[in-house]
Amino acid sequence: MLYVWFAGAEPIRVITQFKEYGVKTPILSQGAFTANYVLDSVKDAALGIVTAKHYSDVLETPENRRFVSAFLNKYKVRPDAWSEQAYAGAKAVGEAIKAIGGKVEDRQRFLEALRKVKFEGPAGTVGFDENQQRVFDVYIRKVEKSGNNYVNRVIDKIPNVSQNWSP
């Protein structure tokens, strides 16, 4: 097995080159390696790559189905982890503002409300640990073809991962 870590445009080059050179060794990586824009570019060359990330646009939850549908409708592309993070962050701020009746000038109350935010988002429960870091599930994903799309199908889950998590 190869563990590789690339982001940006590099995954496209690396995956394409592995395919061109006939590399058959299984590949394991972090989630950006098989982001949707990468899969749209490399197609079959990515099949079977396994990654870990806190989100996949094919998660089977009602919240994610609504999120993906709205995102596709507005932006005409499938959401990725960065889209989910932006949504969850904005919703967390909105929930904290709602909890204090919109009085954001009371910074202390706003921060206390933000620390207590908890809701179901596209990737699962959104909440924070004692250090105000997001706690989330990490999904083990495998690239598969689904219709005309290449997707990061969830094959396993590590629940409630935080900065203090240990197996």
Summarize pLDDT for 22-60 with one digit per residue, the tens.
998 999 999 999 999 999 999 999 999 999 999 999 999
Residue range 67-85, pLDDT digits in tens: 999 999 999 999 999 999 9
Q: What residue type is assigned to position 12 of the chain?
A: I
Residue range 104-139, pLDDT digits in tens: 999 999 999 999 999 999 999 999 998 889 999 999
The reported pLDDT for the residue numbered 163 is: 86
The reported pLDDT for the residue numbered 145 is: 97
User: What are the phi and psi torsion angles at 59 (to 5°)?
Assistant: -60, 135
Q: What residue type is assigned to position 60 of the chain?
A: E
Alpha carbons 134 and 166: distance in angstroms, whole number: 15
The reported pLDDT for the residue numbered 165 is: 73
Domain ranges of the chain: 2-161
Q: What is the pTM of this model?
A: 0.90
Q: In terms of CATH architecture, what is 2-161?
A: 3-Layer(aba) Sandwich (3.40)
Work out the pLDDT band at 167, boundaries 50, 70, 90.
Answer: low
